[in-house]
Structure 1
Amino acid sequence: MEIKRAEKMGFCFGVAGAINLCNKIIEEKNFNGNLFILGMLVHNKNVTSDMEKKGFITLSEEDLKNKNVKLSKKDTVIIRAHGTTKEIYDILEREGVKIYDATCVFVERIRKALVEAEIKGKKIIFIGDKNHPEVRGIVSFGNDVIIVNSFEEFTELSIEKEKNYCLLTQTTLNKELFFKIKEYIEENYENVEIFSKICGATYERQKAVEKLAGEVDMVLIVGDNKSSNSKKLYEISKSINEKSYLIQDKTELNNSWFKNIDKIGITAGASTPEEIILEIEKEIRGTFDDKHGL
C-alpha cells in the first residue's frame, strides 16, 4: 500500500507563529499571573489540549463579555490566530491585562482594509462564513457589513450603481469561488473594488489536494472538524475523488475504507500538527497493511 502526501499541507506560518509564541512565553517564563488563550488558539483539538497541558487556560469570548471570569492585571491573554472582535479587544484593554496578539497577518490586513474602505465611504461586502470567528472578528470593526457565503447569495445582492463598494474575503475562502465572483463583478459592475487576501498557503493546499485526489485511490484529509480550511480541502477532494475522508486523528480511521485500495493520498489542514499526520501514516502501515496482506 503506497502513501502519497500532498505537495503542500499542514501548518501555515500563521498557525506556526501562534504556537511558537505560546511556547516561547512558557520557555522564557514571561508571565506572572494566569495564562489565557482566547478561544481555540488554532482550530485543532490536539493543539488546544497540548496548550492546556502546558498551563494555558482557554478563555471564551462569552465568558469574558458576561464577566464569568475575573481577570487580574498580572494575567496574560493570547489573542488566537483567527483574531477576535473589537468588543473583546476593548474589554481586554480596560482590564489592563498583558496582551499578546497572535492574529494572522492576512486577517489583520483584511481588517485594516475594511476600516480604510469605510472611512472612504465605501459599502463593504464580505464573502465568508458569518459564524466563523475570523469573520466575526473582522466584520466587528465595520459599521454595516453585508456577509454572503456563496456565488448564489452574491448574485442576489442589490448592488446600487451610484454607490461604491469594497469586496473582502475570508482568508480560507475557496479560491475557485472567489474567481467566479470576481469574474461576475468584472462583467457586471464598475463600482465594486476587489480586495482579496486569501491566504497563499490556503490556495497552495487547495491546488495540491486537487492534484492529489486525481492520482490516488483514496484521500485522507487530516484536520479538526471545526477547521474551515480543512473542510474546504475535504470538499475539493470529494468533488474529484468520492473516497475522500476528513479525520481528526488515527482513532477515526475505518477498516472498511481500505478495501481494494492500493494508493492512499494524505493532506492536512493548516492547523494540523505533523505528529498527528505521522501517527496516521504509522497506523496505516502497521495495521491496515497487515490486515490486507500488503
Structure 2
Amino acid sequence: MEIIRAKHMGFCFGVLEAINICNSLKDEKRKKYILGMLVHNKYVMEDMKNKGFEVVTEEEILKGEDPLKEGDILVVRAHGTTKAIHERLKNKNITLYDATCIFVNKIKNEVDVANKNGYTILFVGDRNHPEVKGIISYADKIEIFETLEEAKQLKIEKNNKYLLSTQTTLNKKKFEEIKNFFQNVYENVKIFDKICGATSVRQKSVEELAPKVDLMLVIGDRKSSNTKKLYEISKRVNDETYLVESDEDLDLRIFKDKNTVGITAGASTPEEIIKNIENKIRGI
C-alpha cells in the first residue's frame, strides 16, 4: 500500500511560533498559564500541561475569578483574544507573551482602524470561533455571515462605508465567491483579503491529492477549523475521506482493497501524530 503525503500539511508558522514560545518557557519556575487552548489540538495541550502550563479561561478573567498573581506568566493563544481581555490583562502585573498568529493580528488591526474611521465591518467566518470572537471585538458595527447566500441578504447602504474581511482559515474558494459578489455589485465595499497563506496552500494541496488516491486521511483535532475545512474539501472530490485525531482513532478496516492512501494534516497537528498513523498503516 502506497502512502502519499500532501505537498503542504501539518504545523503552520503561527502554530509553530506559539509552541516555540511555550517551549522556551518550560524551565521557568514561576507559575505558567496559557489563555485557552494554545492551538486546537488536544495532544499539543497535553504536552504543554506536562511542561508545567495550566489553562486559564477568558470567562475567569472577565469575572475576576482567574488564578493569576503578580509575577505569573501568561501566554495568549495563537487564535488571539478579545479587546476586553487585553484591557484586563494590562492591569495585571504579570509577564505576558502574545502568541497570536501574525495573520490574525493583521486582520484585527485592519478591522480596528476601519472601525475608528467609521466603516461597518462585513466579516466572513464562524462567530463562535475564538479567532473570530477576538477580531470582531474591535468593531462597533459589524455583520457576520458564512455563505454567499447570507451575503446576498445583507442590506448595504449606498452612503455608508464597508470593509469586507474574513477568518484566516476560511475556504479560499468560498471567500473568492463572496469577494467577487461585493466587487461586482457594490462600489462602497473595501476588500481586505488576508486568508492565511498556509491555509490556502494546504487547501490547494488536498484538492490536488484527494482525487488521485483510493482513500484520503485528514489528520487533526475535530475542534480545529482548518482541519474541518481540509476534510470538507477532500470529501467533495473523494468520498473515501476520513478525519482522524490519532492512530488510536484509526479503523484499519477502511484500508481493505485500497492501494493508495493520501494523507494531509491540519495546521496544528504534530508530526509525531502523523508518523504514528503512517506506521500503523504500514503495519497492516
Same fold (TM over 0.5): yes
Paired with 1:172 and 1:70, the residues of 2 have a C-alpha distance of 32
In structure 2, which of residues 166, 169, 173 is the aligned counterpart of residue 169 of structure 1?
166
The secondary structure found in structure 1 opposite 2:281 is helix
1:125 aligns with 2:104: no
The secondary structure found in structure 2 opposite 1:3 is strand
Task: Report the counterpart of residue 64 of structure 2 in structure 1.
Answer: 67
Task: Report the counterpart of residue 48 of structure 2 in structure 1.
Answer: 51
Instruction: Report how far residue 58 of structure 1 moved.
Output: 0.9
AA aligned opposite 1:122: Y
Instruction: Report how far residue 70 of structure 1 moved.
Output: 2.7
Whether the 8 Å contact between 1:33 and 1:72 is mirrored in structure 2 is: no
Paired with 1:87 and 1:164, the residues of 2 have a C-alpha distance of 25
Task: Report the counterpart of residue 23 of structure 2 in structure 1.
Answer: 23
1:211 aligns with 2:208: yes
AA aligned opposite 2:7: E
> How many residue pairs get matched?
284
The secondary structure found in structure 2 opposite 1:124 is strand
Paired with 1:123 and 1:63, the residues of 2 have a C-alpha distance of 31
Paired with 2:96 and 2:14, the residues of 1 have a C-alpha distance of 17
**What RMSD, in angstroms, separates the aligned Cα atoms of the two structures?**
1.0
1:276 aligns with 2:273: yes
Instruction: Report how far residue 13 of structure 1 moved.
Output: 0.4
Task: Report the counterpart of residue 292 of structure 1 in structure 2.
Answer: none
Q: Deviations over 1:182-219 (max 9, x none)?
A: 11112111110000110000000000000010110010
The secondary structure found in structure 2 opposite 1:26 is coil
Give the alignment of 1:1-294 within 5 angstroms.
1-27=1-27, 29=28, 33-286=30-283, 289=284
Instruction: Report how far residue 255 of structure 1 moved.
Output: 2.4
TM-score (norm 1): 0.95
Whether the 8 Å contact between 2:82 and 2:135 is mirrored in structure 1 is: yes
The secondary structure found in structure 2 opposite 1:281 is helix
Paired with 1:8 and 1:69, the residues of 2 have a C-alpha distance of 39
Paired with 2:38 and 2:118, the residues of 1 have a C-alpha distance of 34
> What 5-or-longer segments of structure 1 have no aligned partner?
290-294
Q: Which of 241-250 and 112-121 deviates more?
A: 112-121
